[in-house]
């Protein structure tokens, strides 16, 4: 299948072969496709997504654009580091088969700023005598360190702790942490007391004066709070936002320019703000996270957009959409749901909404196909695969839908 891809892109990808000592030694198998040449990886992913959608009514005539490839290394701008080992010899990486920490120094898929910060974070753990959390015994204090790279390689660092017992010590030691990591911008502590598979708990305490990380994604300056979702691959997500905005702002079938857009599951506003920049006069974003909405509002203000031009609402996407006046429904709907998809309830609402254009961005082609089967009034015009997660089976598929007559 690789020979179906443009030769220029294949040449680029062939130059991106990656060697990882952790994969070679068997210490980490997170990049399960690393032994497969990258052109074959992306061709297989597109073929799988295409096969799923080809079986869906209304999707057989999709125009598949060239896939958006990723850099092979250094692409991961957000990282969840499992803290393991001991107070004197902490590890930062993943959980191994024995449910204890595996150290992954210099992980090649992580952004250089994340890898550069890891040794300093180990020194900080040793200096504070912080006990790494041990999953088998359910003892210890520090569970994870979550790092995100922002504009100019500034860092946000979140310590996920079992209790509040060491908060004062961490706060007092912040000057030393800033000395160890000069690019550190935002530091917070997340309190996660329960022994669960989820990464973080409900309580977040920001420990620095700066409470949010500036993040340039595509053509928009976003603002990221500690608990706001952001894609882990900034370069590919930039291409995704630009593509979605281009599709959203194109003239409608009746020749009109779109005037209104709703972005459901909007996160910190990436799709909505790019659509506003592309020329749609009024955009509305809906997201259940209060902090994400606060970040989106701040980003809109930074972009010079007033509330009439860019409105962001905290609420459940499905419930909010159903509560709106049918006469106020938009020209364009953007949905970017979690892996489960939008589900039958919202899919049925879209089916009966009369909205002429839908842009659906999905991280799970199976749930995308299921949702599309519940929306038979829409036909697929274009689709494009965005490889957010090289060396793994995961992808992002964006599809442009038009309502049939």
- Give the tens place of pLDDT for each residue, 79-133: 999 999 999 999 999 999 999 999 999 999 999 999 999 999 999 999 999 999 9
Task: Establish whether 265 is an annotated binding residue.
Answer: yes
Q: What is the pLDDT of residue 405?
A: 55
Q: What is the pLDDT of residue 4?
A: 43
pLDDT at 39 over 60: yes
- Residues marked active site are found at 363
pLDDT at 8 over 50: no
Q: Kindly report the average pLDDT of the chain as a whole number.
A: 93
Give ∠ CA 401-221-75 in degrees, rounded to 5: 75
More confident residue, 252 or 14: 252
Q: What is the pLDDT of residue 375?
A: 96
Q: What is the pLDDT of residue 9?
A: 46
**pLDDT confidence band for 229 (50 / 70 / 90):** confident
What is the CB neighbour count within 10 angstroms for residue 296?
29
pLDDT at 17 over 80: no
Task: Establish whether 287 is an annotated binding residue.
Answer: yes
Lowest mean pLDDT among 15-24, 79-88, 333-342, 376-385: 15-24
**pLDDT confidence band for 18 (50 / 70 / 90):** confident
Distance CA 322, CA 318 (A): 6
pLDDT at 276 over 90: yes
Task: Establish whether 336 is an annotated binding residue.
Answer: yes
Q: What is the pLDDT of residue 12?
A: 43
**pLDDT confidence band for 14 (50 / 70 / 90):** very low
As a whole number, mean pLDDT of residues 341-367 equals 96
Burial 369-396 (b: 16+ CB within 10 A, else e): bbbbebbebbbbbbbbbbbbbbbbeebb
Q: What is the pLDDT of residue 366?
A: 94
What is the pTM assigned to this prediction?
Answer: 0.92
Share of the chain above pLDDT 90, in %: 91
Q: What is the pLDDT of residue 228?
A: 87
Distance CA 233, CA 172 (A): 33
Q: What is the pLDDT of residue 13?
A: 45
As a whole number, mean pLDDT of residues 204-232 equals 92
């Amino acid at each position: 299948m690789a020979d179906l891809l443009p030769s220029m892109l294949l040449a680029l990808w062939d130059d991106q072969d990656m060697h990882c000592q952790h994969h070679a030694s068997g210490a980490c198998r997170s990049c399960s496709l690393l032994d497969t040449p990258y052109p074959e990886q992306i061709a297989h992913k597109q073929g799988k997504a295409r096969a799923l959608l080809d079986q869906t009514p209304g999707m057989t005539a999709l125009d598949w654009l060239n896939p958006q490839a990723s850099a092979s290394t250094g692409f991961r701008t957000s990282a969840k580091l499992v803290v393991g080992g001991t107070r004197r010899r902490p590890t930062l990486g993943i959980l191994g088969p024995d449910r204890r920490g595996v150290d992954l120094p210099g992980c090649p898929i992580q952004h250089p700023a994340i890898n550069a910060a890891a040794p300093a974070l180990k020194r900080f753990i040793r200096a504070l005598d912080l006990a790494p959390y041990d999953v088998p015994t359910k003892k210890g204090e520090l569970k994870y360190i979550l790092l995100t790279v922002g504009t100019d390689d500034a860092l946000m660092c979140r310590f996920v702790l079992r209790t509040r017992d060491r908060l004062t010590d961490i706060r007092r030691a912040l000057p030393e942490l800033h000395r160890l990591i000069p690019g550190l911008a935002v530091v917070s502590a997340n309190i996660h007391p329960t022994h669960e598979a989820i990464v973080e708990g409900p309580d977040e305490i920001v420990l620095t004066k700066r409470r949010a990380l500036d993040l340039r994604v595509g053509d928009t300056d976003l603002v990221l709070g500690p608990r706001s979702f952001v894609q882990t691959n900034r370069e590919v997500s930039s291409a995704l936002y630009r593509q979605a905005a281009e599709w959203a702002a194109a003239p409608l079938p009746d020749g009109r320019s779109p005037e209104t857009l709703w972005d459901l599951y909007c996160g910190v506003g990436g799709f909505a703000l790019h659509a506003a920049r592309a020329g749609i006069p009024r955009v509305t974003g809906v997201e259940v996270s209060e902090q994400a909405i606060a970040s989106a509002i701040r980003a809109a203000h930074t972009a010079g957009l007033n509330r009439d031009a860019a409105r962001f609402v905290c609420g459940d996407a499905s419930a909010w959409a159903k509560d709106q006046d049918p006469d106020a429904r938009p020209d364009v709907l953007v949905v970017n749901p979690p892996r489960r998809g939008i589900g039958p309830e919202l899919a049925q609402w879209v089916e009966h909404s009369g909205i002429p254009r839908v842009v659906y961005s999905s991280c799970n082609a199976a749930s995308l196909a299921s949702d599309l089967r519940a929306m038979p009034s829409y036909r697929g015009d274009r689709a494009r695969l965005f490889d957010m997660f090289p060396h793994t089976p995961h992808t992002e598929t964006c599809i442009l839908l038009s309502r049939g007559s």
